[in-house]
Amino acid sequence: MTEFTKSKRMMHYSGQCVCGTISFSTRTEPLRITICHCAWCQRRTGSAFGVEVVFNENDIVFAGDTPQIYRHVSDESARWLDSRFCPKCGANLGFTLEAVPGIQTLPAGAFDGSGQFTAKNYQTRHVYIRSRRDWADLSSDVEVFEAHFRS
């Protein structure tokens, strides 16, 4: 037991894809949060990193349509990675890795009120920072706006 699991309330979470065709709920708290900066996560999300809320696969329940799966085989490890997505809107719905049996992720941004996933409440790790993009940093080298710069 880590300090993270001892102190928190037992919560069940829900979320959905952009169009609402697929929704999901979880039976338990997440095991951890992994923020992955690998090149595969950059491609599959189209962003600087994937923010993955990690569960045992049996603790995730999908409703509505069944997520489509795209299987990618890693150049580096030769193992498969299955990414899930909505067949209608294409939204990212997490992934499963051959390397980590029994584990499935859901993207933090797809949850209802994803603000609960804080590093204070859950073990949170940044991985593959060797391919981290500096344009995602809120450093003094980039301009930062509370809303859009046009507003």
Q: How far is 100 from 127, CA to CA, in rounded Å?
A: 15
Report the number of secondary-structure helices (H) and strands (E) in the chain.
2, 10
- Amino acid letter, 145: F
Q: Is 31 exposed, middle or buried (0-12, 13-18, 19+ CB in 10 A)?
A: middle
Among 35, 41, 53, 54, binds Zn ion (CB under 5 A): 41
Letters for 52-91 (x = contact with Zn ion by CB under 5 A, - = none) are ----------------------------------x-xx--
Q: Is 72 exposed, middle or buried (0-12, 13-18, 19+ CB in 10 A)?
A: middle
Q: In angstroms, give the least distance from the CB of 23 to Zn ion.
A: 9
Among 5, 21, 74, 114, binds Zn ion (CB under 5 A): 21
Please tell me whether residue 51 binds Zn ion under the rule CB under 5 A: no
Q: In angstroms, give the least distance from the CB of 63 to Zn ion.
A: 12
Q: In angstroms, give the least distance from the CB of 90 to Zn ion.
A: 7
Query: With CB under 5 A, what is the number of residues at the site for Zn ion?
Result: 9
